[in-house]
Amino acid sequence: MRRFTLIAVPYFWLLVLFLVPFIIVFKISLSDTALAIPPYTPTLDLSSGWEGIRGFFAALDWENFTFLTTDDLYWKAYLSSLQIAAISTLLTLLVGYPVAYGMAQSPDEWRPTLMMLVILPFWTSFLIRVYSWMGILSNEGFLNQFLLWTGLISEPLQILNTNKAVYIGIIYTYLPFMILPIYSALEKLDASLLEAAEDLGCSRITAFWLVTIPLSKQGIIAGCFLVFIPALGEFVIPSLLGGSKTLMIGKVLWEEFFSNRDWPVASAVAVILLLILIIPIVLFQRNEQKQREAEGQ
Amino acid sequence: MAQTVFAPWEEADQKPLIQFKNVTKRFGDFVAIDNLTQDIYAQEFFALLGPSGCGKTTMMRMLAGFETPTEGQILIAGHDMKGVPPNKRAVNMMFQSYALFPHLTVAENIAFGLKREGKPKPEIEDRVDEMLRLTRLEKFGKRKPHQISGGQRQRVALARSLAKAPKLLLLDEPLGALDKKLRQETQFELMDIQEKTGTTFVIVTHDQEEAMTVASRVAVMDEGQIIQVATPADIYERPNSVYVADFIGDVNIINGHATRAGDGYDIAYAEGTGKLHAKTTTDLGNEGKCALAIRPEKVSITAQKPAKVTNAVKGKIIDIAYLGNLSTYHVELKGGQMVKAQTANTRRLERRSFTWEDDVWLSWTDTAAIVLEG
Amino acid sequence: MRRFTWFNATSLTLGFVFLYLPMVILVIYSFNASKLVTVWAGFSTKWYGTLFQNEAFLDAAWVTVKVAVVSSTFAAVLGTMAAYVLVRGGRFMGRTLFSGMIYAPLVMPEVITGLSLLLLFIGIGFDRGMMTIILAHTTFSMCYVSVVVSSRLVSFDRSLEEAALDLGCSAFEAFRLVTLPIIAPAVISGWLLAFTLSLDDLVIASFTSGPSATTLPIKIYSAVRLGVSPEINALSTIMISIVTVGVISASLISKRAAVKQKRDEMAAERTAD
């Protein structure tokens, strides 16, 4: 009996507040927009019995999805989300790897401190961290003032409200997610492996390429997914740092919902975003699984 | 004389404390325990010995109630244990990892089981003190498990599992985590405590020396079955199979063909060599395949052929393992059979009589070798 | 012994400058006297003053804290239950669905979670307000708690629970007397994580809040959408300080505990008889 309660309570909670909402989104994505409250039809009317249910299902269609494919705003938004997420993941890797490597190579007594320094921003408000770049990247912001002062540029650069600012924002906020898995992979790396490689005739750099990189592969993959997946559906960063031309699907969904009040289209956008996300999520899970198995040996 | 020897398993009127009756345990397709029947008597120190995966831990966990038999019955003091949960059994277990509760002190750990029984507080305190004294931990009652050494932790685990005065104490590799020296000391301590408390101990171990030292009877297990149950001396001197002979201690196994001769068998082991003779009660019929098991220390090594010895074979020394107190000679007989002979090094090394490539004679008496089914 | 090489020291310095410089600038400029946030016009704390007179911000902060405390407490309880079910529950009907529902919210874009919950609340005619935010936050943060707690449970020596059963505990007593005290640190860090997630959340709160309840992130977002504001700088500085003090003291405490444990263990081996 206790076991039943133990399982039933969290199970029921998640069913009602996670799965059911999801089914509702799917259902509404098949409905039509209406000038009503709620702003879509059909609504399920159980009072008219079977007829009502049949009529309800008959009124559902894929119209919104067809609409998404015909209006190029949407597929451009999907493509540009994918592109922005991919590029910024790669850039985050380039910034994060040397930091993780440096941490793994640092003296033992330094590591807890360095670790804390990486985790600290994670506990700080996401919104504030994104916001902190607004003052730096604006035309009269800190970065432009600095560059003008050094004489590198004569005109302020337009960075804020462009995709560049979005890249910077993503790298900045998701950097800890990249550093931590790579660090934990590099930390486990036995230093004698590198010595063995050098003993067998590798230079420092070839040893790095042939030993360190392959052995930290799992960490790199995990880090990339941990950045790519949330970046794809990101809303705050493109909304605060991006411009009107920055198309990201999270932002489109938000605007569709709050500004256009087109719930069925917003729902359809959500359903497709999820379908796109399933691929990297499944790949990520498989990578994690492989790692667990490798460690379980 | 018979009264002083503790051997309840030989007396017909003794009731066993534990009875396994045709017990089978399967995990999916894997058969952990295979139709096993065994009695264990009160006050025994019973050792389950075998390689990992032989089912010894499963047997113990079934006694504790953490696993239930797929088929068959387990009786403790005559009661079927089916459906009795671990917390309702008069059985306690000492875990391999000790499983000391890290958030409780040593005294609180020992009192844990007593508190569950709802005993009055002074009684619990008395019992805890008694257990601390028994395990020589008086000074450490207020410490947390991480504040004491490995050997002390082992004793806390023992004290905790004995505190409720169980009828039966199960010990899962109790000394496995200790270093060799400490392990030897602790073995005697365990025997001492077992004797003092009169509790029945069932111990699981993969260390044959440990089993031989502490146990009144040893059960050698393999692949879910008990191969032999006997006193340590019998297990060593009279193994019932090649598996047991090989598992316990060092042994030479000579495979051959036996023909009945007198009160034993003549054994032919290679082309063009003489036959060996061994006295035995093993019945192989008139003739048949057999394996001869001889302990290396029962093989003498001499330069000349000894007179008046039933079995004497010629060979060449291939290897010598010098162990300090002992030396083991690896001798190759004609036909390629290797035989190990062990001698005590009563003389200094430089006066050792044999060296590599020497031709020597190996000999043993007709009762030294054991005839086993091959 | 490892030492810093030039390359490593440089990459670490650059990495940490990148991570911390924006926040440092933010803090410095919160003391700027000028309304123009990018021009330094002398030291002043006036923005802190105006911030504390801003009723709307204070109200939102109060709502946020209430939501965070309640939802993270729910999340800690539900998440611990879920973790226990996942790690120790054995097989039951719909186990795969259950573990899927635990892990999915971790990778779900917030816009989708928010949207779906909003549509649920509208569908069942639930008035949006503080209650709906709490429900939403509990739902996604219980999954984080569950991950934190289950990773502790996985490494938990199962024989400790068995020992408790062996010594006469019922399953529930074993959980209460042995498992829970030992996993308590993980439950607490799960609670802290849930608390922080709730404090931070903008997207889900925007979808699920009603006119009666506005949280601080929603307020901040609507204030900064149009540009940098000195009051927000002051607010950010306060929030950054709280987190910094919290994290540093937490890590000092845990470091001290680890050192003490190590010292105890070494002392124990020395005094072994």
Determine the pLDDT at residue A55.
66
Higher pLDDT, B86 or C265: B86
CA C36/CA C145 separation, integer angstroms:
42
Does the distance separating the beta carbons of A254 and C111 come in below 8 Å? yes
Instruction: Give mean pLDDT, residues A100-115.
Output: 90
Architecture of the B250-373 domain? Beta Barrel (2.40)
Find which of C112, C135, C199 to mutate to test the A interface (most A CBs within 10 Å of its CB).
Answer: C112
The pLDDT-based confidence of A42 (bands split at 50, 70, 90) is: low
Instruction: List the domains of chain A with CATH numbers.
Output: 71-296 (1.10.3720.10)
Determine the pLDDT at residue C192.
93
- So what CATH class is B8-243? alpha beta
The pLDDT-based confidence of B2 (bands split at 50, 70, 90) is: very low
Determine the pLDDT at residue A41.
66
CA B20 to chain centre: 19
All CATH 3.40.50.300 domain ranges of chain B, comma separated, are 8-243
CA A123/CA C244 separation, integer angstroms:
9
Give the number of A-C residue pairs with CB atoms closer than 8 Å.
233
Measured between beta carbons, the chain A residues lying within 8 angstroms of C7 are 98, 102
Q: What is the DSSP letter of B46?
A: E
Tokens of B324: 């300090």
Chain C nearest CA to A16, separation (Å): 9
Give the SS3 label for residue A147: helix
Would you call B144 an interface residue with chain C, using a CB distance cutoff of 8 Å?
yes
Q: Which chains touch A (3 or more CB pairs under 8 A)?
A: C
Determine the pLDDT at residue A127.
92
**Per-residue pLDDT tens digits for B203-235:** 999 888 889 999 999 999 999 999 999 999 999
Does the distance separating the beta carbons of A17 and C139 come in below 8 Å? yes
Q: What is the pLDDT of chain C when averaged over all its residues?
A: 89
- So what CATH class is C77-224? mainly alpha
Does the distance separating the beta carbons of B99 and C157 come in below 8 Å? yes
Instruction: Give mean pLDDT, residues B153-172.
Output: 93
Q: Which chains touch C (3 or more CB pairs under 8 A)?
A: A, B
Beta-bridge partner residues of B327: B322, B343
Higher pLDDT, A199 or B141: B141
Higher pLDDT, C40 or A39: C40
Residues in chain A: 297
Does the distance separating the beta carbons of C2 and A105 come in below 8 Å? yes
Answer yes or no: is pLDDT of C2 > 70: no
SS (H, E, C) B333-374: ECCCCEEEEEEECCCCHHHCCCCCCCEEEEEECCCCCEEEEC
**Per-residue pLDDT tens digits for A60-78:** 777 778 877 787 888 888 9
Note whether B touches C: 3 CB pairs or more under 8 A.
yes
Measured between beta carbons, the chain C residues lying within 8 angstroms of B109 are none
Positive or negative torsion for Cα A89, A92, A94, A100: negative
pTM confidence score:
0.85
Does the distance separating the beta carbons of B96 and C162 come in below 8 Å? no
Higher pLDDT, B67 or A244: B67
- The DSSP-derived string for B202-218 is EEEES-HHHHHHH-SEE
CA B63/CA B56 separation, integer angstroms:
11
**Per-residue pLDDT tens digits for C161-196:** 999 999 999 988 999 999 999 999 999 999 999 999
Determine the pLDDT at residue A167.
96
**Cβ neighbours, 10 Å, residue A62:** 11
Measured between beta carbons, the chain C residues lying within 8 angstroms of A278 are none
Determine the pLDDT at residue B331.
93
**Per-residue pLDDT tens digits for C78-109:** 999 999 999 988 788 888 899 889 988 888 89
Q: What is the DSSP letter of C32?
A: B
Find which of B58, B67, B98, B148 to mutate to test the C interface (most C CBs within 10 Å of its CB).
Answer: B148
Determine the pLDDT at residue C40.
80
Determine the pLDDT at residue B1.
39
Determine the pLDDT at residue B61.
93
Higher pLDDT, A149 or A85: A85
Domain assignments of chain C as residue spans, ordered by start: 77-224
**Per-residue pLDDT tens digits for C224-255:** 887 788 889 999 999 999 999 998 898 889 88
Does the distance separating the beta carbons of A250 and C89 come in below 8 Å? no
Determine the pLDDT at residue B307.
83
Determine the pLDDT at residue A35.
59
- The DSSP-derived string for B57-97 is HHHHHHHHTSS--SEEEEEETTEE-TT--GGGSSEEEE-TT
Tokens of B329: 């000679």
Q: Nearest Cα to C46, choosing from C28, C29, C33?
A: C33
Instruction: Give mean pLDDT, residues B153-181.
Output: 90
Determine the pLDDT at residue A50.
67
**Residue B260: burial class (beta carbons within 10 Å; 0-12, 13-18, 19+):** middle
> Which residue in C has a C-alpha nearest to residue A238's C-alpha?
C225
| 8 A C-beta contact, residue B46 and residue B201 | yes
Does the distance separating the beta carbons of A129 and C22 come in below 8 Å? yes
**Cβ neighbours, 10 Å, residue B133:** 11
CA A114/CA A180 separation, integer angstroms:
11
Reported ipTM: the value is 0.88
CA C131/CA C119 separation, integer angstroms:
15
Q: What is the DSSP letter of C35?
A: S
CA A241/CA A164 separation, integer angstroms:
9
Determine the pLDDT at residue B350.
62
Q: What is the pLDDT of chain B when averaged over all its residues?
A: 89
Determine the pLDDT at residue B351.
63
The pLDDT-based confidence of B70 (bands split at 50, 70, 90) is: very high
**Per-residue pLDDT tens digits for B244-288:** 999 988 899 999 888 888 888 888 887 777 788 888 888 888 888
Would you call B22 an interface residue with chain C, using a CB distance cutoff of 8 Å?
no
All CATH 2.40.50.140 domain ranges of chain B, comma separated, are 250-373
Chain B nearest CA to C22, separation (Å): 43
| 8 A C-beta contact, residue C268 and residue B146 | yes
